[in-house]
Amino acid sequence: MNRRGAGIAALLAACALLPPVARAQDAEKLTLRQAVTLALQNSRDLALAKVQYSIAQGQVSVDRAEFRPNLYTGSGAAYTSGFPATPGGNGPSIFNLSYTQDVFNLPLSGQRKAAESRAANAKLEMDRVHDDVIVRAASAYLDLANVRHALDYMRSEQASAEKILQVTRERANAGQELPLEVTRSELTAAQVQERVLKLEGRNESLTEQLRSLAGIPEEKEIETDTEEPSFATDQQEADLLEMALKSDIGIQEASNERAAREHIFKGAKGGYWPSVSIIGEYEVLTKFNNYQEFYNKFQRNNVTVGVQIQIPLYSSRTRANVALAKSQLSEADILLASKKDQVRADVQQKVRSVRELDAEREVARLELKLAQQTLELMQAKFEDGRATLRDLEQARLDESDKWVAFLDAERARQVGQLSLLEATGQLAKVFQ
C-alpha cells in the first residue's frame, strides 16, 4: 500500500507540473510552421527587398535599351539669321522622326552585363531577407514556447517555495528552527518570485513580437504548440562545409560583384575598339527659313539612314578607365577569397557549437532525470514517514529548477541548429 500510495502521489505531483491544456475560447492556436508562413506574408522587410529587386531589374532594362530600337519624333519653330539651323545643328523642321540603336559598343555592353550581375545580387539580398524573417519568426515562436513552459514550472516552484516558507515559520515558532532558516526560505521564495515576474514580462514581450511578425490581431490570444520541433542534421562536417560554400549568399554576392567588375574591365578595354550605331532620320523642313537662298535646290522631305562608326584614335580617359577597372577587379578577387575563408571558419564554429549544445542538453536531461528520481524517492520516504513535507517540497523545487534548465538547454540547441541550417542553405527546405 505504501508503494502504491507513493506512486499515486508521484503521479499527481508530476501532473501538477505539466503545462495546462485548457485554452481561452478566443485563443489563436499557432504551430511553428504557421507562424513562419504568416511572418513571410506580413514582412515589410521582405516586401521592401522585393521592390528593390524590381528596381535592380529596371536598371538592367534601362542599360539594355541602348541596344534596342529607339524612335523619337517632334516638332518646333525657331528664328534664324543667316544659315538656317537649330541649336543642335539640324535644320528647322515642322516634323522630324529619328531612329538610333547601338550595335557594337563594348563599354556599354560591359556596363549592361555588370548591371545584370548586380541585379542578381538584389535577388540574393531578397533571399537573405527571406531567411532572416524565417529565423526571427522561428526564434520568437520557440522563445515564447520555452518561456511559457518555464513559467508553468516556475509557478509550481513558487508554490513549493511558499510551502517550505510556511513550514519553516511554523517550526521556527515552535522553536524547532533557527531564524536563519526562515530568512533563507524567504530569500528562496523572493528569488522564485523574481524569476516568475521576469518570465511573465518576457512572455508579454515575445507575444507582442510574434503577434507583430505574424500579423495576428490584438484581440486574439496566441497559444503555442506543445510539439517540440527538431532541426538536427545528420550530414558530416565536410558535406556541411561544401553546402555552405555553394549556398552562402555572401559568397554568391561577392562572386556576382567580381563578375560585374570583370565585365566592366572588359568593357573598358573595349573602349579602344570602334563603336557602331544604326541611325535614321526623316525631316520635313520649312520654307520660311529661306533654305532656297543657301541651296540651288531645296527639298522639304529629307531622309537619312545609315551606320555611324566612331573610331578612337587616342583617349586618355579610356586608359584611365582600364587601370581603374583592373584594380577594382583585383579587389573583388581578394574579397571573394576572404569571404570563402570566413564562411568556412564560421560553419566549422557552428558545427562545433551544435555538438557542444548537444552535450549540454544531454547533461541537463540527465540532471532532470536524477531530480525526478530523487523526487520519487522523497515521495516514498514521505509516505513512509521518513521525510518531512519540507524535504518533499524542496525536492519538487529542485526538479522544477532542472526542468527550467533543461528547457533552456533545449532552446539553445534549437537556436544553434537553426543557425547551422541557415548557414548551409537548408533553412527554406525545412519550412516549405
pLDDT of residue 321: 86
pLDDT greater at residue 67 or residue 90 = 67
pLDDT of residue 363: 95
Residue 387 in this model has a pLDDT that exceeds 70: yes
The secondary structure of 403-416 as a DSSP string is HHHHHHHHHHHHHH
pLDDT of residue 21: 37
pLDDT greater at residue 432 or residue 420 = 420
Average pLDDT value for the chain: 82
- For 200, which DSSP code? H
C-alpha cell at 415: 537556436
Query: pLDDT tens, 173-230?
Result: 888 878 888 888 888 889 889 988 998 999 999 999 998 898 888 888 888 876 667 7
pLDDT greater at residue 11 or residue 306 = 306
Q: How confident is the model at residue 114 (pLDDT cuts 50, 70, 90)?
A: confident
Lowest mean pLDDT among 3-17, 161-175, 214-228, 254-268: 3-17
Residue in 429, 417, 431 with CA at minimum distance from that of residue 233? 417
Residue 62 in this model has a pLDDT that exceeds 90: no
pLDDT of residue 103: 81
Could you give the dihedral angle defined by the CA atoms of residues 80, 82, 86 and 92, in that order, rounded to the nearest 10 degrees?
70
Residue 295 in this model has a pLDDT that exceeds 70: no
Range 384-390, long-range pairs (CB < 8 A, 24+ positions): 384/2, 384/6, 388/167, 389/163, 389/167, 390/163, 390/164, 390/167, 390/168, 390/171
Residue 354 in this model has a pLDDT that exceeds 80: yes
Distance from C-alpha of 354 to C-alpha of 298, rounded to nearest angstrom: 87
Residue 2 in this model has a pLDDT that exceeds 70: no
C-alpha cell at 158: 513558487
For residue 228, the SS3 value is coil
Residues 6+ apart with CB under 8 A from 298: 285, 287, 291, 292
Residue 155 in this model has a pLDDT that exceeds 90: no
Distance from C-alpha of 51 to C-alpha of 47, rounded to nearest angstrom: 6
Residue 11 in this model has a pLDDT that exceeds 80: no
Q: What is the mean pLDDT of residues 42-70?
A: 87
**Residue that the C-alpha cell 515642322 belongs to:** 94
Q: What percent of the chain has pLDDT over 70?
A: 86
Q: How confident is the model at residue 283 (pLDDT cuts 50, 70, 90)?
A: confident
pLDDT of residue 316: 83
pLDDT of residue 201: 93
pLDDT of residue 388: 81
* Ordered structural domains, the chain, with CATH: 2-11+28-68+105-273+312-430 (1.20.1600.10)
Distance from C-alpha of 202 to C-alpha of 207, rounded to nearest angstrom: 8
Lowest mean pLDDT among 119-128, 132-141, 422-431: 422-431
Distance from C-alpha of 202 to C-alpha of 208, rounded to nearest angstrom: 10
Residue 52 in this model has a pLDDT that exceeds 60: yes
Ranges assigned E (strand) in 31-121: 70-74, 93-104
pLDDT of residue 372: 92
Could you give the dihedral angle defined by the CA atoms of residues 128, 130, 132 and 137, in that order, rounded to the nearest 10 degrees?
-170
Residue 6 in this model has a pLDDT that exceeds 50: no
pLDDT of residue 23: 41
pLDDT of residue 22: 39
Q: How confident is the model at residue 268 (pLDDT cuts 50, 70, 90)?
A: confident
**Residue that the C-alpha cell 513571410 belongs to:** 40
Distances (CA, A) of 190 to 67, 137, 160, 168, 288: 76, 33, 12, 15, 101
Residues 6+ apart with CB under 8 A from 154: 192, 195, 196, 199, 400, 404
**394 contacts 20 by C-beta, under 8 angstroms:** no
pLDDT of residue 78: 64
Q: What is the mean pLDDT of residues 107-122?
A: 86
Residue 376 in this model has a pLDDT that exceeds 70: yes
Residue 337 in this model has a pLDDT that exceeds 90: yes
pLDDT of residue 83: 62
C-alpha cell at 326: 583592373
SS (H, E, C) 108-148: HHHHHHHHHHHHHHHHHHHHHHHHHHHHHHHHHHHHHHHHH
Residue 430 in this model has a pLDDT that exceeds 80: no
pLDDT greater at residue 93 or residue 273 = 273
pLDDT of residue 302: 77
Length of the chain: 432
Q: How confident is the model at residue 357 (pLDDT cuts 50, 70, 90)?
A: very high
Distance from C-alpha of 254 to C-alpha of 343, rounded to nearest angstrom: 12
For residue 307, the SS3 value is strand
**141 contacts 281 by C-beta, under 8 angstroms:** no
Distance from C-alpha of 169 to C-alpha of 186, rounded to nearest angstrom: 10
Query: pLDDT tens, 73-87?
Result: 877 666 666 666 665
Q: How confident is the model at residue 19 (pLDDT cuts 50, 70, 90)?
A: very low
pLDDT of residue 81: 63
